Structure 1
Amino acid sequence: MSTRQGYAFIGLGHLGGQLAASLIRNGFAVSVYDRDPAAVECLVLLGAEAANSPADAAARAGNAITCLASPKVSEAVLAGPDGLLEGLPSGGSWIEMSTNGQDEIVWLAALASAAGVETLECPVTGGVHLAAVGKITALVGGEAALYARHRPAIEAMCARSFLMGPVGSAAAIKVITNMLAFIHLVAAGEALMLAKKSGLDLAQSYHAIVASSGNSFVHETESQLVLNGSYDIGFRARHGRKIRRAARACITYRCDLSAGQAGLWRQRLVDHDREAARGAVGTELRASGFPAKLEAEISQIIN
């Protein structure tokens, strides 16, 4: 039996499922809840305990971790009926790994504090492919002592973590990193299209850029999924709405997402932005030899 702290994990999507799996593999007792029974079953097969609600999961574990789609969902899971605050004991901890705006996480932390629950915000950055092998990076906001208490669990999920300051600090840096990622993605699309229009081989152009001063983490990883045509990064364009609301500064992430566009992988913004700005419908950036999904070995940024 593990002597480590137990955790409830709520939100077992592309990212959350990988993070929860890392906790289980590293010997933590984990109770899980998600609206998708299949996602719960996958974690149960790894050794998690299934719960009937967020409140039930939190009561079993004493601490809770969430990785959810929006601040509205985070609020419902935290403070709604059968929410975490109904199950967490006074003195328990809530680790929020969702991406929130700074004002939103400060407000949610205040709700938790009123119920005697301490909050550690812990959004992650690097991609689902790195989360799958425990090499993603955590951006942490909260009290240093609380961070130290839960650092073993954070390090079980993440290769690196940075304590940025009080609650709200991690939200600010996460917005900054996501803003840069979107800018880099659009810039990479512009570069590949210029290569295409110049008659260059796209695969050779990709590798030349990787070896150049113009390389970036986004180009090295996500440009592969553009060239393959899968766009399958596990991050959909609708999630970028949070970034647009919070940052208001991403210079070319300007498209209005329709219901159909919101479900696209975010790499499709390369095509969408070009079609909106240049009318280049039908121009595809494709080259052979690139994967449909990213593996951790692709990135040399985190070793």
Structure 2
Amino acid sequence: MRYAFIGLGNLGGNLAASLAGAGFDLTVFDRDPAQRARLEGAGARWAASAADAAAGADAVLTCLPSPAVSEAVLDQILPAMRKGADWIEMSTLGRPDILRLAERVTQAGMGVLECPVTGGVHLAARGEITVLVGGEADLFARHRPAMEAMGNRIFHMGPIGSAALIKVITNMLAFIHLVADGEALMLAKRGGLDLSTAWQAIAASSGNSFVHETEGQLILNGSYDIAFTMDLALKDLGFAMEFGRAFGVPLDLAGLTTQTFVRGRSAYGGDAQSTQIVKLLEDALGTDLRAPGYPARLT
């Protein structure tokens, strides 16, 4: 099975490296050559363009920052892909986007899987990220070995569009938890508690969350470096609000969290770390949430 991987950012670069490191026949491309040495060292081939990477591949994986970029790359690779090849989209797209793009691919005589991932860049670097799959069962079975090289928990959610929904749900919860964790840590700090002991107590309590265990450490360090931006957070929250309107679900907490992230982007810029949303509260109260012994990045 010959794979191509296009989109080697914070997340995609780690996913592609896991594939190459597992011995898959892999060709890669990104407009930024920063990942070239790493991936060639792992055994991948560097292509001259997205179309060159796709030519001759049995499946093309893409991991890109927005639906618009996914569509632009699909415009480049679709004419180069051979009949019977598969497109595996690992970006986070809205359900209408993946349904529309998947229709283009199937009409061209190719298969489609949507495989967004969740868990964070640090888990992708360890090959331990969670993979959420939407698409036909036979296509999922065909490419499951590649999924297992990139992640250690694989969920087939159903037909195309199913993975887009669950990925947005998981991200919506993560952003809500992030804002809540900042408020909880601030209560602890202003209430006179030792922040490190408070973090540990929360982690051992019914109030614990994955976000508290991971991003909470980056808040206490002060780096906020989760390798995920305010713009990306607002993209995903926008998808969540669209689902809420489509399915008639009032997303009160998601709506408030979206407004908070709009303020965060206005204060710190769209390229700021999403974890810096907690800095809004720190700045408003003139109180930082630092504690010694916590990492600047997750490993």
TM-score (normalizing by structure 1): 0.91
CA positional deviation for 1:25: 0.9
Tell me whether 1:261 sits opposite 2:279 in the alignment.
no
Q: Which residue of 2 aligns with 1:175?
A: 168
CA positional deviation for 1:88: 1.0
Tell me whether 1:7 sits opposite 2:6 in the alignment.
no
Tell me whether 1:110 sits opposite 2:103 in the alignment.
yes
Q: Which residue of 2 aligns with 1:133?
A: 126
Question: 1:102-149 CA distances to partner (integer Å, 9 max, x unpaired)?
Answer: 111101101111211211000000011111111100000000000000
Any gaps of 5 or more consecutive residues in structure 1?
A: 296-303
Query: Matched residues in 2 for 1:109 and 1:221: separation?
Result: 34
**Counterpart selection for 1:27 from 23, 36, 39:** 23
Q: Please say if residues 27 and 44 of structure 2, whose CA atoms lie closer than 8 Å, have aligned partners that are also in contact.
A: yes
Q: How many residues align?
A: 284
Query: Matched residues in 1 for 2:79 and 2:280: separation?
Result: 44
Query: Matched residues in 2 for 1:241 and 1:192: separation?
Result: 23
Query: Matched residues in 2 for 1:50 and 1:163: separation?
Result: 30
Question: 1:204-237 CA distances to partner (integer Å, 9 max, x unpaired)?
Answer: 1001111111111110111000000111111111
Any gaps of 5 or more consecutive residues in structure 2?
A: 242-250
CA pair 260-188 structure 1, distance change in 2 beyond 3 A: closer
Q: Please say if residues 64 and 70 of structure 2, whose CA atoms lie closer than 8 Å, have aligned partners that are also in contact.
A: yes
Query: Matched residues in 1 for 2:18 and 2:280: separation?
Result: 35
CA positional deviation for 1:274: 6.2
Query: Matched residues in 2 for 1:258 and 1:161: separation?
Result: 36
**Counterpart selection for 2:204 from 202, 211, 235:** 211
Which letter does structure 2 place at the counterpart of 1:253? T
Query: Matched residues in 2 for 1:144 and 1:110: separation?
Result: 17
Question: 1:151-208 CA distances to partner (integer Å, 9 max, x unpaired)?
Answer: 0001110101111111100000000000000001111001000001101110110011
Tell me whether 1:145 sits opposite 2:145 in the alignment.
no
CA positional deviation for 1:266: 0.8
Q: Please say if residues 282 and 288 of structure 2, whose CA atoms lie closer than 8 Å, have aligned partners that are also in contact.
A: no
Query: Matched residues in 2 for 1:236 and 1:87: separation?
Result: 32
Which letter does structure 2 place at the counterpart of 1:271? K
Tell me whether 1:58 sits opposite 2:54 in the alignment.
yes
Query: Matched residues in 1 for 2:145 and 2:157: separation?
Result: 18
Residues 198-237 of structure 1: pairs in structure 2 closer than 5 A? 198-237=191-230
**Counterpart selection for 2:297 from 288, 293, 297:** 293
In terms of fraction of residues, the more helix-rich structure is: 2
Which letter does structure 2 place at the counterpart of 1:262? G
Question: 1:6-25 CA distances to partner (integer Å, 9 max, x unpaired)?
Answer: 11000001100000000011
User: Structure 1 stretches (4+) deviating beyond 6 angstroms?
Assistant: none
Q: Which residue of 1 aligns with 2:179?
A: 186
Query: Matched residues in 2 for 1:183 and 1:260: separation?
Result: 19
Which letter does structure 1 place at the counterpart of 2:273? W
Q: Which residue of 2 aligns with 1:252?
A: 257
CA positional deviation for 1:259: 8.9
Which letter does structure 2 place at the counterpart of 1:195? A
**Counterpart selection for 2:233 from 219, 231, 240:** 240
**Counterpart selection for 1:270 from 268, 272, 278:** 278
**Counterpart selection for 1:39 from 35, 44, 50:** 35
TM-score (normalizing by structure 2): 0.92
Which letter does structure 1 place at the counterpart of 2:38? C
